[in-house]
Amino acid sequence: MPSSRMCRTTPRPRRPPRSPPLSVPVTTPATVTSAALAPACATTSDSPGEDLSMTDPTHASAAEPIPHNAQDALPEDAWQRLDHWAQRHPQALALRHKRRGRWVAWPWAQVHRTADLLRIGLAREGLGPQARLAVCGAFEPRLLLLVLAARAAGAQVLSLPRGLGEAELAAWQDRRRPTHVYLQSRDELVRWLRLQGRQSEDAVQLISPQPVPKGQDAAAWLHLRDLLGEVPPQVQRHAWHRAQRAAATWCEEGTEWSEGLALVVGHWLRTGEGLAFPEDTAAAARDRRDAVPSRLLLSAQRAQQLSDEIEQRLPVAGSWRRRWVDGALSASPVSGGSRWDRWLRVQLQRRLGLHRLQEVVVPSSAAELPERLRSLVEAA
């Protein structure tokens, strides 16, 4: 006898999960803006209970656009802004970075103290107003602190792209003439040491956090810890639930983004909102889900890569699941679509670590955001 039981052709959607409470409530839809450096600091509350995040991280209306491909467009008053946040919110989290599988954090007071020690150490090594410091690597706390210290000492800061060949590196050095070079990775350090070995004059002072490469003379370069003096400051560890409650601006870029250094440092010191960085570029998607940022700082190239990452997580083109997803993402931000459309968008945002996203900050020279990324941001 044939069964009278009905066959379900589509899975029953689960009840949408409740979103976790946010430390900074979203009162307006997410926006895509052109980032710039404004001379004024954000206004924040002085109440003790609001030290974890800035209460007014919005962009100023009259902002100075960042020059396209600018190599040294950092704020002239960068040190004064750092001093402002260190005095007003000393224990608020300024920097977060995943290092060797664990998240570490720097409050504003410690950022100021470490940058000051680096400034003294750089002056001891001859870095002053006539010096030119080139930095090479992924954006992360040590690189940013070194940049702030160099600017406080009056030096010019240059962005050196990662992954250049030896011929390209030699051409870059002849064109830019740096006096000091900070090299984050061991491969970059070895490449520069080889280049130094073939040059009889115009020696450059190399700085790196890496140990001495095998077969190389330790006197040929300076370890980053030597700039901090005999007793380097200890990185403070904070409970992860505290770090997750604080609003964060996410950046997974490197020095190959020529205008990125000015954009990242300027946005950070102007808004007072903490920056978060992945352990490395390859692990950016995983670490982004941990940090759950409220803002993204993106170059045009990285925005396209993130859009491609979204595309890879969607169902196969032409399937009924793909049509459902496309319909959910294209729903009007005002109406939000059906209940299941909203639930589906939340699931996709959670997989990407973007379910608390309020804003995507891009340089003024960038074109419009890719379609997939724009649709996900507008649905946030």
Closest among 295, 270, 241 to 105, alpha carbons compared:
241
Residue pair 147/275 in contact (Cβ under 8 Å)? The answer is no
What pLDDT does 217 receive?
A: 67
Q: What are the pLDDT digits (tens) for 32-55?
A: 333 332 222 333 333 333 333 333
Q: What are the pLDDT digits (tens) for 235-284?
A: 555 555 566 677 899 999 999 998 899 999 999 999 999 999 999 888 89
Q: What are the pLDDT digits (tens) for 77-112?
A: 999 999 999 999 999 999 999 988 888 889 999 999
Residue pair 82/262 in contact (Cβ under 8 Å)? The answer is no
Closest among 248, 234, 219 to 95, alpha carbons compared:
248
Q: How confident is the model at residue 17 (pLDDT cuts 50, 70, 90)?
A: very low
Q: Which residue ranges form the domains of the chain, and what is each CATH number?
A: 77-239 (3.40.50.12780)
Q: What CA–CA distance (Å, rounded) separates 188 from 172?
A: 14
What are the CA-CA distances from residue 330 to residues 138, 244, 335, 366 (Å)? 34, 30, 11, 23
Residue pair 150/157 in contact (Cβ under 8 Å)? The answer is yes
Q: What are the pLDDT digits (tens) for 288-315?
A: 998 899 999 999 899 989 988 888 888 8
Q: What are the pLDDT digits (tens) for 162-214?
A: 999 889 999 999 999 999 999 999 999 989 988 887 765 667 889 999 887 77
What pLDDT does 214 receive?
A: 73
Q: What CA–CA distance (Å, rounded) separates 253 from 45?
A: 31
**CA atoms in the 13 A half-sphere facing the CB of 364:** 13
Residue pair 340/277 in contact (Cβ under 8 Å)? The answer is no
Backbone angles phi, psi at 33, to 5 degrees: -125, 160
**C-alpha angle 121/256/266, rounded to 5°?**
60
Q: What are the pLDDT digits (tens) for 51-85?
A: 333 333 333 322 233 333 344 568 889 999 999 99
Q: Which residues pair with 107 in a beta bridge?
A: 93
